[in-house]
Amino acid sequence: MAVEIRMPKIGLTMKEGKVVEWRKKEGDRVEKGEIVFVFETEKTTFEVEAPGAGILTKILVFPDQTVPVGTVVGEIAESAEAASIPPPTFEVPAQKKEEAPLGFRPRPSIEVRATPLARRMAKEKGLDLRAIPGTGALGRVRRRDVEAFLSNPPPAPKVEVPPSMEKGRLVKFTGMRRIIAEKMLASKVQTAQIYMSHTIDATGILEVREKLLPVFEEKAKVRLTITDLLMKITAAAIARHPVLNTRWTPEGILWLEEIHMGMAMALEEGLIVPVIWDIGKKSLLEIAQTRAKLVDLGRKGKLTPDDMKGSTFTFSSLGMYGIEDFCAIINQPESAILGAGAIIEKPVVVSKEIVIRPMMRVTLSYDHRIIDGAKAAEFMKTLKQWMENPILLLAG
């Protein structure tokens, strides 16, 4: 009896998914739990495991096709039954029927046999498994095959290019990279982005973190970060200046009641933005715990679309890379985003004397269609005051 492979529903808000690639081709043996295809939502990509063991007899939805949740995308049958099933005669999307020869069955690109460890190693090193000779059963690529390939790679094939073209290596878009590109371009084109910066004396922030760090670790086994403090202060400043928590709509400006903080997070594959829901009502400890959980899920690739949907304002930090100042791109449909740079000791003038203080630059990117310059400046003034005196905010 055939086992149906369906487009899964990840989270409560997912309605459809787009097939990115098939890891198996028709006629391949599939074990239960083995990855058979990859799909993407508007936020990220996910791998789908086989619901049962057998032969992949039908692929019904091809790469780049988008289908509703629950749609049957393929079928798996037991080996004996699979042999009696006639070949499917569906076509590649957008291909005219008369163009295909009789009996033609389109198939996704061939995926070589490989152990999960070998596949992961090849992905991390950016290797094409098809180029690695396999020494396992039926040519299966194993860990030592990947290691041998890395230690003695074959010479790169020569590619003839016209003199006017630059030579290089083409890396095809992943689903995540394409989504990021589309969203970033749309943000720059569809919003009137403008920027405003402040220089912050981070002495108070560092002092508060130093005092609370052992308390949080002992109480909840969570490490308080500078980002936790900055997001807490930013959420409070947004509550004081709610025009930062708005959205542009065709009917008018939508003023949102709750503050859901997007937290820009870099992965090897690209940028994601998990969300701390209702951050304005969370304590600093709750923010630290939620942030730690989301970061852990993100690094493991286990965030769901619900974890990355619904943000009303985004916070982005590049301080861990030593970047002092940058302008972040608004995460649509939000109206603003705050970028925080590294805390660096610098000479500054305090009471007419030159002293060394830990200084930090924060930059607000905002949609001038919604937020006027004076309103943005008022928000930044409050932000600077509370970041330089966080004890006043946290004591309240």
Catalogue the active-site residues. 368, 372
Walk across the sheet containing 3-6 and list its strands.
3-6, 72-77, 54-59, 29-30
User: Amino acid identity of 166?
Assistant: E
Q: Which residues of 102-141 are buried (b: 16+ CB within 10 A; e: fewer)?
A: eeeeeebeebbbbbeebbebbeeeebebeebebeeeeeeb
Q: Crossing angle for the helix pair 226-240 and 203-220, nearest 10 degrees?
A: 110
**Tokens 């004396």 map to which residue?**
201
Torsion angle (degrees, nearest 10) of CA 340, 277, 66, 70: 150
CA distances from 1 to 36, 86, 87, 140, 378 (A): 19, 14, 16, 28, 67
